[in-house]
Structure 1
Amino acid sequence: MVRTYREYFNRNFTKDKYVQFLRVLGEDYPPITIRFAETPVFIPEDLKNQLIEAGEEIIKLIKQPDFKALTDNAIPKEWIVPNENDHPHFLAFDFAICKDEEGRLVPRLIEMQGFPSLFGFQAHLADVYKETFELDELADFSPFFHGIDQQSYIALLKKVILGPFAPEEVALMDIDALNQKTAIDFFVTAKHLGIRILSLTDIFKEGNQLFYIEQGKKIRLRRIYNRLIFDEVSTQQELFKLSFDPRDELDIEWITHPNWFYRISKFTMPFLKNEFVPETRFLNTIEVIPSDLENYVLKPLFSFAGMGVIIEVSKADIDAITDPENWILQRKVNYEPVVQSPDGLVKAELRLLYIWPDGEEPQLCINLARLSRGKMIGVRYNADFDWVGGTVGLMAQ
């Protein structure tokens, strides 16, 4: 998206460099199962400033005194977890990169979550792009915002995830942690913080306290850096009997508390009214179905990774829905193919990643980018393409 940088990168790109990039990316880690794109995204200054402004508009809503009351219905009753804190520790906002009527690149909100993303991995990814493709010869690039650097970023992660506890008292938890597609992020995070990576069934309860076993020793957990999405475990709740049920009263601190996954989600989007957010309405509030449904997308509130989304919406699709309160109708955004690959333009999405320490303000720290040639952003829609997949946005300092 910055022509001089893009031309330099493409002119010097080779498949051998990409193979080397993948090798260096996975050195000292288990095999990576995510597809990473052949290129980073070069974010121009104007787009960066718009992204910052768009994120600030969302945070204004989240910080409203009535935000919890506004989003109480966001949490499925069967998944309410007690002892919720005042705010999420992590935020992620996804923006499609589009063009306005004047041809200016503009961000449009697609998704949002009060849940961790690849916070540990993205800094590593940026470093490997810069090293492998020798980008430091071109400019001083960074994936960070607001003057943050690698050292201060890792220090902030430690502050928020570890808090006052020893690393062995904190665990990153997922349903089957070591076999998740995003496990590379888990390993990078553990390397920086010294915390344990535990699957749900590695943890057991005694009274209201949680423990795990390491080298024959029982160790008490004080904090869980939660990466478990309840949608994934909803049909496997017998696992709770082998471990613990997060909905019990527990003497544990959540980073981030599970309720925030629902509060800050597609459910929040109808409450946002600004230029960066496409028109979004709860389906049950729509009295007259739009006549131009081809310009809308239908999304279930309680799903992730694009599951259940209906791109080509018909009135029959809407009529078939029995729980309209759990769906949103959102005006489509037109991703503008803006990243030049060797054989055409590719669409891009940028995710802003915030860290929110207790007692402080949320801080925009780093970003995640994804490239796509398919109808949607995501692996299942881009399986047969190159120059697609996970990447990072780099900004010249």
Structure 2
Amino acid sequence: MSDSRTSEFIERIPVGPLALMPLDSIMPLGQRVDEYLSKWRGQRESEHKETIAFNGYQKDSYIVKSKVSRFGSGEAKANILETVRGVDLYLMVDVMNYSQTYSLFGQINHMSPDDHYADLKRVIAATTGKAKRINVIMPFMYESRQHKRTGRESLDCAIMLQELHEMGVENFITFDAHDPRVMNAIPRDSFDNISCSYQFIKAILNSIDDLDIDKDHMMIISPDEGGMGRAIYYANVLGIDMGMFYKRRDYAQVVNGRNPIVAHEFLGTDVEGKDVFIIDDMISSGESLIDTAKELKERKAKRVFACCTFGLFTSGFNKFDQAYANGTLNGVYTTDLIYQQPELLTKPWYRSVDMSKYIALLIDSLNHDMSISPILDTSTRINQKVAAYREHRAGVNKQMELSFD
């Protein structure tokens, strides 16, 4: 964190005492965010920190405990176990955490996105309007794939945002939304769609030590037309080419709620001999991603990596194990913003991208009512990281040349 940014934190009065409330679905990530906040604030020295405006500014933990209890019928209620009167409250929820269960008429029921969203509303209702400001951090936006209407169908994502607005939520924060234009449902509220581009590039450069980042050796690929904007940003900031596939579908059939893909058609320059990175917002079953990787390998790509914000892996890991074993896919990067199966973390092809520090920085800035634009604009930091990587690579190559001499 820069010195100017640190001094701004010290001089700006917080909106209210900071309170962090991660629901059980996202508690491990919430605890890591809490550790960063406690560490940073404990290190700040200011002549104002003893004033009433900074009361409770430095604490060992900012987590406010809550509890959602369930009856045998599956009905539930939320309790907040500490006061939230006058606080700047940050609720965190992972609607994709299917590992949590509850008893439903004696049967074990895994929690669905609907259950997690209902729990979020219960906790907000339990604040009974006492918090000074309510902010929601929902990394995977609930019903984000049901964001537009193409017939007589529901608009679940827009309804969710409007419900939270009616409950008093002022700031809504999500990551790599499937279509951020859904923010039009709440035009008067703050809606921040956060990109994970810097964290991905940092993780890639830290884990792969032999990349040549130029147009001749590396390329960015969008697996469909919906992810073009994301891929264009990566390609531009890295100074390399991009390509895309579009999915030709059979609209005469519906299989598992969608029209099956007939073929993947490629648009772009030659990928032969290049390291290729497929950029997308999520991995669902992974079928489309692996098909894209196969197409790239058939076009003689050197290595194929996938970088997707959310790894759902709804059909398990077997396809990915096979793709890695036969050389179709060389690695998969996803964030820790949603639940990760313990088995996933043991896979040789998998790399987890930590987002806790970034979330802590966002919360810290918003609590001080500071602009988060400098945090969201990551191009400068990416350029610095890439320049340092290239310099290190050049030094290693020079050493190797000298050793052979």
Length-normalised TM-score, structure 2: 0.28
More helix by share: 2
TM-score, scaled to structure 1: 0.28
